[in-house]
Amino acid sequence: MTVDRRQLLAGLGKLLVLTPAAAAAWEYLEAGRPEEAPSYRLADHWWAMVIDVEACIGCGSCVRACKTENGVPLEPYYFRTWVERYHVPNGVSEHPEVDSPNGGYDGFPERYRPGDGAKSFFVPKLCNHCAHSPCTQVCPVGATFDSPDGVVLVDKSYCLGCRYCVQACPYGCRYIDPRTNTVDKCSLCYHRITKGLTTACCETCPTDARRLGDLKDPKDPIHEFLRAHKVQVLKPQMATGSKTWYAGLDGSVR
Amino acid sequence: MAGLFVVGLALFLVARKVLVPVGFGELGHFRTGAIADNRAPKLVHAGRAACAECHSDEPDRLKSGAHRGVGCEACHGALGAHAAAETDVKPARPDTGTLCLGCHRQSVSKPAGFPQVDPKEHGDGSGSCGGCHDPHAPAEEPKAPPAEEAKKP
């Protein structure tokens, strides 16, 4: 086999930039056949998400991308991810105003005026992919479960539609799909991340306010993010072992 | 009494065999095949790396400009179908009149450092932004407006 300089450099570049598994998958992505990427090893990954609240501009790109990528019903109230707008009078309040018109799908029509003495910001929400998830513990048949690579998934062919998990999730991240009467929720774009791509929401987030990370990959930038920022999970008192970390989270956020 | 117990046990084992799906419990309290089911859906967003396989102008211009962090499909919408069959699915050109303000419309809830404009004060009043800004390199000396001098924001 002869290797010209271009091939060699391209190969070296991939070695440097991509982990071996991702490099192998890359060949298939390049060929436009990502579904044939070689087998993905469950034991090599532990997925998580970091959210930078101070970077979110409330454009709703993630909400739209999520719905198209995952075929989520377009009517309001069905969301795998959504964005909330907080408005905290006097900066400190037990009772912040929170709204999320159509989950942020169409962006946020301006409601507030500058100089009203409040602080206001956007908070993207999604399944927290908890390591000790209350939702999977209550499933009577094992149709929702923590996958060995750290993603909370649903087995649609086996779900009874009993709604226990919908009630058990402290973050309100689950809904019953009206078409199948089974539960649906964020799968962390499992069909994408297991092929070396990022989630649809991260792909379309213009400001990197949300980033997918693999905690078992020592070269993943998520480690640097977690070191450089002070982070918090939602409802830490629930001890869910949430793997969605928020940087710049305000105490008013529920 | 013992007979009843044996019959009960047999019934339980048969029911269990029928009700518990194949592959259940191999990796945890779930059906192993559910992992493959969750991997099965087709890609709807191709990802920005795929676009650069065929297009070079736009990715190059994007890279050096203010929109370097913005993915192609954040503006163009999901184009996995186009990336898989580029001539069968022809993408529409986004309308800058609605697209740009989706991100840049002024709001007190946005981070203060994010560039925002009030459409009533910024631009040429046409509602469109493409006349002055190149969407792939928006800050690169906005083109002079067609008629009068650009109104500063």
CA dist A145 and A156 (Å) reads 11
d(CA B122, nearest CA chain A) in Å: 17
In chain A, what residues touch B48 (CB-CB under 8 Å)? Answer: 203
* Domain tally, chain A: 1
- Quote the percentage of chain A above a pLDDT of 90: 79
d(CA B5, nearest CA chain A) in Å: 26
The verdict on residue A26 lying in a domain is no
Q: Does B139 touch chain A (CB under 8 A)?
A: no
pLDDT at A38: 61
Residue of B108, B117, B136 to mutate when probing chain A, most A C-beta within 10 A: B108
pLDDT at A32 over 60: no
The verdict on residue A22 lying in a domain is no
Q: Does A217 touch chain B (CB under 8 A)?
A: no
pLDDT digits (tens, 9 = 90+) for A109-136: 999 999 888 999 999 999 999 999 999 9
pLDDT at A170 over 50: yes
CA dist A56 and A123 (Å) reads 7
Q: What is the 3-state secondary structure (H, E, C) of A174-213?
A: CEEECCCCEEECCCCCHHHHCCCCCCHHHHHCCCCCEEEE
Q: Please report the number of interchain residue pairs, chain A to chain B, with beta-carbon separation below 8 angstroms.
A: 143
Closest CA to A179 of A74, A252, A60: A74
In chain A, what residues touch B37 (CB-CB under 8 Å)? Answer: 155-157
CA dist A195 and A190 (Å) reads 9
Indicate the average pLDDT of chain A.
88
For A95, the token pair is: 């009772």
Domain interval for residue A248: 32-254
C-beta of residue B116 within 8 angstroms of C-beta of residue B106: yes
Half-sphere exposure of A40 (CA within 13 A, CB side): 25
pLDDT at B143: 56
pLDDT at B53: 93
pLDDT at A34 over 80: no
pLDDT at A139 over 80: yes
Return the number of other C-beta atoms located less than 10 Å from residue A181's C-beta: 11
| Average pLDDT rounded to a whole number, residues A11-21 | 45
The verdict on residue A182 lying in a domain is yes
In chain A, what residues touch B28 (CB-CB under 8 Å)? Answer: 145-148
C-beta of residue A236 within 8 angstroms of C-beta of residue A74: no
Closest CA to A49 of A149, A128, A136, A145: A128
Dmax (CA) for chain B in angstroms is 101
CA dist B39 and B127 (Å) reads 43
pLDDT at A207: 97
The verdict on residue A24 lying in a domain is no
Read off φ and ψ for residue B10, nearest 5 degrees.
Answer: -60, -45
For every one of its 153 residues, what pLDDT tens digit does chain B have, with 9 covering 90 and above?
Answer: 789 999 999 999 999 888 888 889 999 999 999 999 999 999 999 999 999 999 999 999 999 899 999 999 999 999 999 999 999 999 999 999 899 999 999 999 999 999 999 999 998 878 789 889 999 999 876 655 444 444 333
Helix H or strand E segment including B15: helix B2-19
In chain A, what residues touch B86 (CB-CB under 8 Å)? Answer: none
In chain B, what residues touch A146 (CB-CB under 8 Å)? Answer: 28
pLDDT digits (tens, 9 = 90+) for A189-247: 999 999 999 999 999 999 999 999 999 999 999 999 999 999 999 999 999 999 999 99
pLDDT at B151: 39
- Give the domain CATH number at A115: 3.30.70.20
Residue of A33, A57, A68, A201 to mutate when probing chain B, most B C-beta within 10 A: A57
Q: Are strands A81-89 and A97-99 parallel, antiparallel or unpaired?
A: antiparallel
pLDDT at A76: 84
pLDDT at B35: 95
b/e burial code for range B107-144 (CB count within 10 A of at least 16 → b)? bbbbbeebebeeeeebbeeeebbbebbbbbbbeeeeee
Prediction pTM value: 0.89
pLDDT at A7: 55
C-beta of residue A209 within 8 angstroms of C-beta of residue A56: yes
The verdict on residue A4 lying in a domain is no
